[in-house]
């Protein structure tokens, strides 16, 4: 279950251990989950060796918790796994500014994945298409005629579609299996199903089945999120007039991303800062998610554009929304193998893959707003460098109290903040 209250004041002021204890209590984590987080999220070598080939070790990334998220009336603490400063803070800040209208709202499609079968050397594509569609029920029954927990729970192949695809080497017949994967991401199930049914389709068409693989453009598995932000919430100190100006600046920044692919790439990267981080923390295939998310905007009018939409309603509130493919699972894969991933899913308390999809998208929208607000007001570097100062100090070779001292000096510095400057300060500090 989600936490009772995601509003955790002063979390950043606590030690790592104190934060872990607070989150463990709020999310009612088991000792096993707490131990997994306290062990730096590392796999033992035996587990790692089972996951990929030629294992030589493991590598850690920080896991932080975003606060203040209210989604569909429930409070969530959201784990992020990434190396970049300011992301967790920005998402938490924007989530807090979304509370006036009850937080974020989500709406998700059924968990349908696409399995593609590429048919080549088809003599008459029109006739072949007809044969496949006429045999649709039989093919669906064949796909589902296997012992499978997913099918037993109501999943499995639900429909078959056929596309004729003109290419430089001739027209291909592309068969889509639409598979309900329930609470799994579904890659293995879909790939197995595509390979199993391919000979039947060859017999129907007289063609040759070549590629048999899922698509990561999960266009039938969309997640949607929306949030409303008042001018007072968007202001620094609650002043409506200031908030109205901030909203106008955000809308201007968004228009830039909508029309310019060069800007859209960075705009969307900011969205993925959160989406990929939450996905990674929860043991998801974040590369598949990224591929689908970046491809999705191009289907609208054939060009790359903003993943998010920002408008102003009749009352002057800022309204953000997003619709993206979100193929995630809470059964199987790393979400069950990796101890830290299991712990992070326990923090969320999600009960379905669709719930997880909505949460991930909310994190993305909040992070997008944080970036747009910073860019359209004081600039992105102010907040980023404030949190990045300690990293710069460590990179310069600082240890112990030197880190805090250098970070404080960097915060107060009004000129250019460079790594060489920090190194100079450290040398001066050590010379006395």
Confidence category of residue 18, pLDDT binned at 50, 70, 90: very high
220, 267, 338, 384: the catalytic one is 384
pLDDT higher than 90, residue 336? no
Q: Which of 25, 40, 240, 269 is catalytic?
A: 269
- Name which of 382, 366, 408, 425 is nearest 92 in CA terms: 366
- CATH 3.90.770.10 correct for 11-108+224-377: yes
**Residue of 42, 84, 110, 195 marked catalytic:** 84
Q: Where are the beta strands (DSSP E) in 216-326?
A: 222-229, 308-312, 318-325
The reported pLDDT for the residue numbered 386 is 61
Share the mean pLDDT of the chain: 93
* Model pLDDT, residue 47: 84
Higher pLDDT residue, 223 or 402?
A: 223
Active site residue 240: no
pLDDT the model gives residue 41: 66
Pick 112-215's CATH classification: 3.30.70.890, 3.40.640.10, 3.40.50.920, 3.30.70.420: 3.30.70.420
Helix, strand, coil percent content, the chain, rounded in steps of 5: 50, 20, 30
Domain boundaries, the chain: 11-108+224-377, 112-215, 382-431
pTM of the predicted model, to two decimals? 0.90
Catalytic member of 244, 285, 323, 355:
285
Half-sphere exposure of 74 (CA within 13 A, CB side): 18
Residue 213 β-bridge partners: 116
The 10 Å Cβ neighbour count of residue 119 is 27
pLDDT band at residue 276, thresholds of 50, 70 and 90? very high
* Active-site residue, 285 included: yes
The per-residue pLDDT for 378 is 75
Instruction: Establish whether 137 is a catalytic residue.
Output: no
Average pLDDT of span 201-229: 98
pLDDT one-digit tens code per residue, 216-274: 999 999 999 999 999 999 999 889 999 999 999 999 999 999 999 999 999 999 999 99
423 sits in which H/E element: helix 419-431
3-state secondary structure of 163: strand
CA distances from 357 to 33, 199, 223 (A): 22, 34, 6
Taking only the tens place, the pLDDT of each residue in 119-155 is: 999 999 999 999 999 999 999 999 999 999 999 999 9
269 has catalytic annotation: yes
- Mind listing the pLDDT tens digit for each residue in 101-120? 999 999 999 999 999 999 99
What's the order of all strands across the beta sheet hosting 308-312? 105-108, 222-229, 318-325, 308-312
Range 382-431: architecture per CATH: Orthogonal Bundle (1.10)
SS3 at position 404: helix
Which secondary structure element, helix H or strand E, spans residue 195, and what is its range?
Answer: helix 187-205
pLDDT band at 277 (very low <50, low <70, confident <90, very high): very high
């Amino acid at each position: 279950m989600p936490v009772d209250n995601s509003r955790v004041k002063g979390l950043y002021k606590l030690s790592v251990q104190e934060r872990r204890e607070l989150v463990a209590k709020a999310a009612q984590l088991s000792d096993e989950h707490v131990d997994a987080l306290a062990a730096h999220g590392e796999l033992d070598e035996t587990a790692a060796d089972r996951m990929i080939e030629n294992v030589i070790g493991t590598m850690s990334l920080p896991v932080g918790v975003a606060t203040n998220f209210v989604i569909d009336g429930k409070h969530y603490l959201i784990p992020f796994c990434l190396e970049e400063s300011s992301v967790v803070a920005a998402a938490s800040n924007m989530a807090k500014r979304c509370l006036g209208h009850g937080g974020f709202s989500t709406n998700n499609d059924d968990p349908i994945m696409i399995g593609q079968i590429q048919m080549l050397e088809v003599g008459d594509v029109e006739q072949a298409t007809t044969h496949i569609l006429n045999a649709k029920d039989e093919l669906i029954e064949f796909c589902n005629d296997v012992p499978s927990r997913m099918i037993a729970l109501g999943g499995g192949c639900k429909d078959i579609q056929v596309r004729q695809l003109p290419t430089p080497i001739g027209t291909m017949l592309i068969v889509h299996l639409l598979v309900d994967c329930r609470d799994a991401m579904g890659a293995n199930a879909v790939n197995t199903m595509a390979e199993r049914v391919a000979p039947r389709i060859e017999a129907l068409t007289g063609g040759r089945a070549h590629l048999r693989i899922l698509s990561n453009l999960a266009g039938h598995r969309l997640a949607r999120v929306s949030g409303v932000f008042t001018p007072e919430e968007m202001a620094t100190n609650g002043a409506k007039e200031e908030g109205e100006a901030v909203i106008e600046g955000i809308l201007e920044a968004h228009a830039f991303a909508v029309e310019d692919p060069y800007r859209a790439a960075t705009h969307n990267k900011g969205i993925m800062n959160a989406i990929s981080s939450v996905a990674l923390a929860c043991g998801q295939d974040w590369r598949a998610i990224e591929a689908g998310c970046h491809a999705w905007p191009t289907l609208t009018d054939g060009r790359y554009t903003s993943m998010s939409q920002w408008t102003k309603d009749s009352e002057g509130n800022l309204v953000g929304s997003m619709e993206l493919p979100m193929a995630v699972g809470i059964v199987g894969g790393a979400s069950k193998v990796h101890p830290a991933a299991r712990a992070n899913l326990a923090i969320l308390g999600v009960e379905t893959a669709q719930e997880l999809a909505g949460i991930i998208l909310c994190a993305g929208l909040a992070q997008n707003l944080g970036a747009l607000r910073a860019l359209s007001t004081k600039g992105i570097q102010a907040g980023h460098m404030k949190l990045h100062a300690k990293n710069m100090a460590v990179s310069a070779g600082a240890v112990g109290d030197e880190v805090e001292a250098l970070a404080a000096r960097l915060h107060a510095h009004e000129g250019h903040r460079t790594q060489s400057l920090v190194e100079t300060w450290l040398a001066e500090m050590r010379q006395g």
